Structure 1
């Protein structure tokens, strides 16, 4: 297969052999671009306007967002400051409450100590009172062991003078004589009379010994045995 070769087309570019020939060349087509302003395509201006609009819109969005964030941060700072103040107030209140509780606790301990001491003193006083009562009871028993009472004795008339101890001693002596008891007034240690509102008199006689009391009581029993219809009640 044969290959056909074609010669290249002639070039429209002027060929010169020297620099002197360049100045002699007249251009076939005048250069239209010399001294003329090239206009930017219209679609490029539109794209630039859109970009500027997007930039302005984005800047506005960012500005508004920043303002919103600033407001949020400002409110957040205000809330934090308020919370910190509330926390400080709570801490101060807690400190005051701790002081109050400490004071109350101290007062309670002091009061509890006082109550314990009062309770101890009350027990001591109670025991002391019991001791006094027992001693008083012993004394009363001892006194009663030598005391004899003569009740329901006749009351003298109002125009008669009040009985003296000697009168009372004579009265006891007469009673002992009736009971056939060997009794001497020297056996009387103390004697006095008690009168009630009803006019009943009781002669309280403290004797010198239990023996004297038992002697009188025995005489009264013997008298009641003999005199059944006229017994002595006292």
Structure 2
């Protein structure tokens, strides 16, 4: 009978240790053989990345002549742009200075303009006041002149002699008054003379009443027979009869107003246009109110 002896405990532990190592190596070997493709792929990717990084670092460090020329062109362009920018900045500073000067000048001119404007307004007010005062003075002078002519008569269209004395002129005036049945003495005559281009006779009487009497008588005489109005035949002058016009003497301004009034009376069919006491009057028809004409603005009151 064979007897099997159990190995000693120390040997048994050695054998178990060997078996465990063998089992571990087998497991590791199996795992290694089971993933060969994955390891190879990772290794290739890592190698390519390292190679690429090396190429990039090597390219960034290598400088070619074309790159230097390109960099030089860029630097020249930047330098030119900087010069232009500096020029523009200097120009803008100069323009700013000029604008400030223009603004100062404009402010100065504006202040002067306001000053001149106020002076002009003051002068305009002063001018209006002076104009009003001058108009008042002119009206006063006109009134004085008109009053001074109240006793004066103008006799027109009486032929003049080559040599004519005041006595002869007085005789002519007396003959005219006799023709209209008015008696006049030399004592009624203050002065008589011819003046103007047409040599009309200016008769200055001693009273306004006598002047009004003569004017009224002549108007009545002319209305009596329109075919035989006062003319040169009534005072025994030789030659063909010529109409004689007798009117009261007007001032220069009233003469112009009277001429304008006569023209407007014909245009707008005013029946009456006359003068009295050196003043011009208009009347549309019999019974209508008379319009007194003292100045040009009074014509606006006419009925057109």
| Fold match (TM-score > 0.5) | yes
Aligned equivalents of 1:79, 1:223: Cα separation in 2:
105
- State how far apart, in whole Å, the 1-side matches of 2:174 and 2:94 are: 96
User: Considering only CA atoms, is the larger Rg found in Structure 1 or Structure 2?
Assistant: 1
Deviation digits for residues 33-84 of structure 1, max 9, x if unmatched?
Answer: xxxxxxxxxxxxxx9xx979946843759x9699788667645653553343
The count of aligned residue pairs is 184
Q: Distance in 2 between matches of 1:227 and 1:66?
A: 124
Inter-partner Cα distance in structure 2 for 1:51 and 1:190 = 140
Q: Which residue of 2 aligns with 1:169?
A: 170
Q: Distance in 2 between matches of 1:224 and 1:81?
A: 103
Give the TM-score of the pair, scaled to structure 2.
0.45
Correspondence for 1:203: 201
Contact kept, 8 Å, 1:191 with 1:203, in 2: the verdict is yes
- For 1:151, the equivalent position in structure 2 comes to 156
Q: Which runs of 5+ in 1 are unaligned?
A: 7-46
1: CA distance, partners of 2:180 / 2:225:
11
Q: Aligned in 2, Cα 1:54/1:211: closer, same or farther, shift over 3 Å?
A: same
Distance 1:144 1:107 in 2: 53
Q: Which SS does the other structure have where 1:145 is aligned? A: coil
1:58 corresponds, among 50, 55, 61, to 61
Unaligned runs of 5+ in 2: 1-5, 16-49, 231-243, 247-304
| Offset, 1:214 | 1.6
CA-based RMSD of the aligned residues comes to 4.3
